């Protein structure tokens, strides 16, 4: 408080009064100064306190919001462990609640037993009962994998700066089970992998998508996590890199526009035809998914629609065949993944390597060794067999006419290798380019790069639209599947030197609606005859199961199992019902037939092996408006179906393990269906790469992509 100053002097006063008032004013002025200074200090102090009070109010509001969000959880946790006591070393019964003197958090005992280690340090024997998160948000640009822990913000708004990054969830044993433990959102175009603490992949979060993670079990480090749907479920695949824009990547007119080959445990190759029409190859590091610069093998785009093949020669080289009659050896630099090409060579026979050969899976190029290949071709006169010999990057070729075949008019060919220098060939051709049709089978031996055809055996053929497939058994025995329209039969072929002798024919089926096809025809990630090139993917075919067992699929809904006695040529035939649908063969010997009815996808599974056939429990998956197609990924199955209920593409990608268990699934709509592994039609061609998978994209996007799988 400041006192009022009284009776100040002024000029109107007499000298006596002025002097008296002046003497009285000085003490009052000194007191006023002291009181004013004190008041100033008081005002400043209160101003600071006021500002602090305002900040405290804001902080309190934030804290109140957080407390409101977690109040129920804290109350629940408090109720759960209201009887918790301080932990000391000793014996505890299952479920006993204690609090840790190290961090003052509460834990429950897992099972009966002694405890000599503080629960905060013994997650195997104690389960945390404390509320996990603080309800806050972390906004972060990711340049590396993100490792979450018990104290991490509940809401993660993440912008990955590159593809292939992952979010690792905390040790589940340090968390309480419950809903909405974490919410993850990708703020960018790149997807994110979601992994548990053990590094096992849970799924992939698509770009600009979000998901909420519930913790269903915390008995182990990994825990049992479940992802709720955001815009869509966590994906089973994550595109790491794409190459495009490619032309028709899927099988079109029976010619592949996308092929892959593994050179070694470290390197792989992909070849595709981009929109320019130039056949292009890319090198892939199998361990990291890194790749080199795509290198065009041709630059004129000529005859790009006739398909190509890619054969590994050694750890750094491969033979590329393209534009039907062109061949070149490519060499990979394993350091920078660059590709160099040798001198391209033109095949010296008319109609080349690919004319008609991929139709129904029949091949016309076989690899006997890393340096020796055989092919057959011609038009009008006798067909010519050609040996392709490779030395370094140099390609030499020598050919000779097959004297036992009078005319070659658009013939269809099949091969199997008998040794590094011998092969068995079958060829179906017309006489005068019209009926009747004849099938020819003969041995070809190679010496010093020069082929020598042996004696030819022949039989009538139904038409010349396919070869009669050869199935290998040994260097002197093979099985041939024969087709006479509606009838399918088989015979054993015995090879002795340059000659081949057939056994009596054994009927397999009299009501075939298709043809036997080559045994490379069924959709499979790995060609069941690795030395034969075949581009087609059909639901009919023949293939070896192992040992003396073989399979023939020539009528929808049935697989005929053949057990062959190669000594006398006899065989038993056992029809196996599969149900009508799309069929495929996985690497692990699983034959699967997929069908859709009554809002369910049904997958009929047969395990085929040298012991015969074992019918497994079918897998049934809810779906809608499905047109199924399928293909294998390593020992598992990636199964996709599509529909267009409103004119927009919808597709499902489903990963099923060898037991038929559904590991993960995802469904898409709108623009999301334009990403890899989400095509609604076609037959994606791909192969497994150390936990990654190559795959084509949808026809709309037409890019070749590498993706990670669950």
Full domain range(s) for residue 630: 581-710
Task: Please identify, among 72, 95, 121, the residue that sits at the C-terminal boundary of a domain.
Answer: 72
Question: Are both 343 and 368 inside the same structural domain?
Answer: no
**What is the signed CA dihedral for 219, 220, 226, 227, rounded to 10 degrees?**
140
Task: Please identify, among 322, 347, 372, the residue that sits at the C-terminal boundary of a domain.
Answer: 347
Nearest C-alpha neighbor of 685 from the set 521, 535, 519: 535
DSSP string, 120-145: GG-TTTEEE-S------EEEEEESS-
Nearest C-alpha neighbor of 662 from the set 639, 681, 682, 633: 639
Lowest mean pLDDT among 529-543, 637-651, 670-684: 670-684
d(CA 134, CA 127): 19
Q: Kindly state whether residue 526 falls inside one of the protein's structural domains.
A: yes
Q: Kindly state whether residue 120 falls inside one of the protein's structural domains.
A: no
Residue 106 reports pLDDT greater than 90:
no
DSSP string, 25-61: HHHHHHHHHHHHHHHHHHHHHHHHHHHHHHHHHHHHH
What pTM value is reported for the model? 0.68
Question: Are both 381 and 516 inside the same structural domain?
Answer: yes
Q: Kindly state whether residue 191 falls inside one of the protein's structural domains.
A: yes
190-222 b/e (C-beta count within 10 Å ≥ 16 → b): bbbbbbbbeeebbbbbbbebbbbbebeebeeeb
Question: Are both 166 and 273 inside the same structural domain?
Answer: no
- Structural domain tally of the chain? 5
Q: What is the average pLDDT score of the chain?
A: 73
Task: Please identify, among 538, 568, 598, the residue that sits at the C-terminal boundary of a domain.
Answer: 538
Highest-confidence range of 322-326, 329-333, 681-685, by mean pLDDT? 329-333
d(CA 339, CA 281): 8
Q: Kindly state whether residue 551 falls inside one of the protein's structural domains.
A: no
Question: Are both 512 and 455 inside the same structural domain?
Answer: yes
Q: Kindly state whether residue 51 falls inside one of the protein's structural domains.
A: yes
Nearest C-alpha neighbor of 700 from the set 686, 682, 190: 682
Helices and strands of the chain, counted as H and E runs: 1, 54
pLDDT tens, residue by residue, 388-397:
999 999 999 9
Question: Are both 196 and 266 inside the same structural domain?
Answer: no
d(CA 498, CA 452): 9
Q: Kindly state whether residue 326 falls inside one of the protein's structural domains.
A: yes
Question: Are both 671 and 620 inside the same structural domain?
Answer: yes
Question: Are both 370 and 338 inside the same structural domain?
Answer: no
pLDDT tens, residue by residue, 299-315:
655 554 456 778 899 99
Question: Are both 400 and 485 inside the same structural domain?
Answer: yes
* pLDDT confidence band for 423 (50 / 70 / 90): very high
Question: Are both 358 and 450 inside the same structural domain?
Answer: yes
Residue 97 reports pLDDT greater than 60:
yes
d(CA 89, CA 114): 8
CB of 462 closer than 8 Å to CB of 502:
no
Question: Are both 381 and 477 inside the same structural domain?
Answer: yes
Question: Are both 478 and 384 inside the same structural domain?
Answer: yes
Cite the beta strand spans of 244-335 per DSSP E. Answer: 258-262, 267-272, 280-285, 295-296, 308-312, 317-322, 326-332
Give the pairing type, strands 412-417 and 422-431. antiparallel
């Amino acid at each position: 408080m400041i006192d009022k100053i009284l009776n100040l002097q002024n000029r109107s006063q007499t000298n006596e009064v002025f002097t008296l008032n002046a003497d009285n004013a000085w003490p009052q002025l000194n007191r006023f100064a002291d009181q004013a200074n004190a008041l100033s200090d008081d005002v400043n102090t209160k101003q600071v306190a006021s500002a602090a009070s305002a900040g405290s109010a804001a902080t309190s509001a934030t804290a109140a919001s957080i407390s409101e969000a977690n109040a129920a959880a804290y109350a629940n946790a408090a109720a759960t462990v209201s009887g918790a006591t301080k932990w000391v070393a000793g014996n505890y019964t299952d479920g006993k609640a204690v609090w840790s003197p190290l961090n003052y958090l509460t834990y429950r005992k897992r099972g009966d037993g002694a405890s000599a280690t503080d629960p905060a340090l013994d997650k195997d024997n104690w389960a945390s009962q404390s509320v996990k998160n603080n309800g806050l948000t972390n906004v972060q640009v990711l340049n590396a994998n993100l490792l979450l822990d018990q104290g991490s913000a509940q809401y993660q708004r993440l912008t990955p700066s590159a593809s292939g990054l992952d979010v690792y969830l905390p040790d589940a044993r340090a968390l309480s089970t419950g809903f909405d433990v974490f919410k993850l959102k990708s703020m960018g175009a790149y997807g994110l992998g979601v992994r548990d603490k053990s590094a096992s992949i849970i799924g992939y979060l698509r770009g600009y998508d979000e998901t909420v993670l519930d913790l269903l079990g915390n008995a182990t480090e990994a825990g049992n996590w479940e992802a709720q749907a955001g815009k869509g479920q966590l994906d089973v695949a994550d595109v790491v890199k794409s190459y495009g824009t490619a032309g028709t990547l899927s099988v079109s007119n029976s010619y592949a526009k996308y092929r892959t080959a593994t050179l070694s445990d470290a390197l792989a190759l992909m070849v595709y035809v981009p929109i320019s029409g130039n056949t292009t190859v890319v090198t892939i590091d199998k361990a990291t998914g890194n790749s080199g610069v795509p290198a065009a093998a041709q630059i004129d785009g000529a005859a790009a629609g006739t398909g190509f093949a890619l054969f590994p020669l050694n750890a750094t080289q491969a033979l590329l065949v393209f534009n039907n009659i062109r061949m070149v050896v490519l060499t990979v630099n394993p350091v920078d993944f660059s590709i160099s090409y040798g001198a391209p060579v033109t095949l010296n026979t008319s109609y080349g390597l690919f004319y008609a050969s991929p139709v129904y899976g029949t091949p016309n190029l076989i690899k006997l060794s890393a340096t020796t290949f055989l092919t057959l071709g011609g038009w009008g006169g006798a067909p010519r067999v050609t040996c392709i010999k490779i030395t370094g990057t140099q390609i030499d070729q020598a050919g000779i006419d097959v004297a036992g075949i009078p005319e070659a008019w658009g013939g269809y060919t099949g091969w199997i290798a008998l040794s590094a220098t011998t092969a068995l060939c079958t060829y179906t051709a017309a006489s005068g380019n019209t009926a009747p049709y004849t099938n020819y089978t003969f041995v070809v031996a190679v010496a010093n790069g020069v082929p020598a055809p042996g004696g030819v055996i022949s039989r009538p053929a139904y038409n010349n639209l396919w070869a009669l497939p050869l199935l290998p058994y040994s260097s002197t025995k093979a099985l041939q599947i024969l087709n006479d329209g509606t009838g399918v039969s088989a015979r054993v072929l015995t090879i002795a030197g340059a000659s081949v002798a057939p056994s009596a024919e054994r009927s397999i089926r009299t009501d075939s609606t298709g043809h036997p096809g080559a045994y490379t025809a069924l959709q499979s990630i790995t060609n069941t005859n690795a030395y034969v090139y075949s581009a087609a993917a059909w639901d009919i075919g023949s293939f070896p199961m192992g040992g003396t067992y073989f399979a023939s699929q020539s009528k929808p809904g049935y697989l005929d199992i053949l057990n062959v006695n190669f000594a006398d040529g006899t065989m038993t035939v056992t029809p196996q019902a599969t149900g009508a649908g799309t069929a495929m063969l996985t690497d692990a010997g699983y034959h699967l037939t997929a069908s859709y009815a009554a809002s369910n996808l049904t997958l009929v599974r047969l395990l085929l092996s040298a012991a015969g056939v074992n019918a497994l429990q079918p897998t049934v998956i809810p779906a809608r408006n499905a047109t199924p197609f399928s293909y294998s990924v390593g020992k598992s199955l990636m199964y996709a179906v599509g529909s267009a209920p409103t004119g927009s593409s919808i597709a499902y990608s489903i990963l099923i393990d060898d037991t038929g268990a559904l590991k993960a699934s995802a469904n898409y709509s709108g623009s999301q269906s334009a990403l890899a592994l989400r095509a609604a039609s076609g037959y994606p061609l791909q192969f497994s790469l150390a936990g990654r998978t190559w795959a084509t994209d949808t026809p709309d996007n037409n890019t070749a992509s590498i993706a990670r799988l669950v």
